Structure 1
Amino acid sequence: MNAHEKFTLVIGATGTTGSRVVARLAATGGRVKAAGRRATPVDGAVPVRFDWDDPASFEGALDGADRVYLIPPLGVSDPEAVMLPFLRQARTAGVDRAVLLSSSAIPAGGPAVGQVHQALPGLFPQWAVLRPSWFMQNFTGNHAHARTVRADGTIRTAAGEGRVGFVDADDIAAVAVHALTEAHAPNAGLILTGPQALSYDDIAAVLTDVTGRTVTHRHLTYERMRDRLAAEMPAEFAAMLAGMDRTIAEGAEDRTTDTVQRLLGRAPRSFRTVAERELG
């Protein structure tokens, strides 16, 4: 790498996908700025302070960057209000490629980050929007499902027997790096899934088999799930999350795509493989 080569700015650099994106870029010799509220040191990257709530942090984070990996602010119902001013500033500062993490459940122009998705092609000549299904790491990391699995061997949802194409965060990060570094950006929204659509009962069965500890899926009503979540978060956000379970029950996430295979030249990893890697 030469001294004049630009940086890739990774926002949310200590998060589930951001940390993996930083590690992959650094491993290939890329120049990386690892952005977060505390500018946490990360191997192979330059730590930089970045806070969506503090626009004064934007300029320093963008200095020397020509591409950016975007994690929306967490728990914000209208992220476009803070993200779009930053993205306009990024374009003015010389960023010409942006890769946004969204969700398979949110289309362009949809609620929340869907508004940012819709705006991205008009802001950057090179772009991609990653729309992964639910993360496999929801059952192995620090997500509420993983915590209840560890605490009492249960997964509680209002998803019924609905199926989801759960995807490995490592595969999401690999696609993100591809979108950031290939000669031509995808300039598209990319729905990312694992190789199979699985129900939460299927997930519980795999976890039972891999860990040797009985894990069960408790089927809750939408109302009970909403009220359970509302004890831990704002009521509006709880209703949205419970509503996403309800759409799963109705079949909205019962799909798989060939995106990982097509872009990476290999099949996406199965849930059993990830469970064995992280819990076995």
Structure 2
Amino acid sequence: MTTAVKKKFRWGKFFSSLLLWVLLVIFVLPFVVVVIDAFKTNAEIMDNPLALTSHPTFQNFIDAFNEMNYMSALGNTVLLTVVSVSLIAIASAMTAYYVVRSNSKAGKIVFYALIASMMIPFQAIMIPLVTFYGHMGILNSRPLLMYLYVGFGCGMGTFIFHGFIKTGVPISLEEAARIDGANLRQTFFLIVLPLLKPVFATLVVLDVLWVWNDYLLPSLVLTQPYQLTLPLSTYSFSGEMSVNFGPLIASLLLTILPVLIIYIFLQKYIVDGIVAGAVKT
């Protein structure tokens, strides 16, 4: 490699690193501002939201915890997230397994229909959905919300599992299981399912982030105070004429804190699982 090429390579690496650092600052700065403002009074936030405070206060967190009925909202969010994500993961894995191993026209139609459903924006169908279920009298129901999450989440889940099962699960293992007397259910749950752990972890992380932080769909289905999730509860700090910024920002931190901890511990599975499930097709 000549000196000119080496110099060009070093400059290219320098500008690439610089660009990555700039993007990092752009993405992290809003979160840093939120953390700083959560310990400031409303007057300090309005005066200069970017400045540090010399008198940090935890009163915003106390007010947010009480006003948003945090424990009730947390319980609703955990219940909704655990049930919805579990059903999405199991249903997606079973659907993908059927599509790959049956290799039938019906399976292909189901698979392509699920992929096509991923291209439809939720905003395009939310009014018909609310109108339809409203006429049926089943709105304001947590089971309905879970059902909708499963319907909207199975498309991506099936797509990810499909690629991994097709190329990452040897059919010889299933044939050996059948020779040993295992039926289809035993083959799937005892042989295939344990091999899908990396994809399961990826799908769980992605769907937990989606369901936990979702505001729009719960706001259309849930209306009773005892049913509100954490994102819906943060709206209690916004009035018609004013916004209580301190407790509002503190409530946002309380909302994202549990799922942020989960993401930190499981983030390595996201890239690994997506590469295994989506690229190897």
TM bracket, shorter-chain basis? under 0.3
Which protein, 1 or 2, shows the higher relative CO under an 8 Å CA cutoff with sep ≥ 6? Answer: 2
Structure with a larger share of its residues in strand:
1
So what's the TM-score if we normalise by structure 2? 0.24
Which protein has the bigger helix share?
A: 2
Q: Pick the structure with greater CA Rg.
A: 2
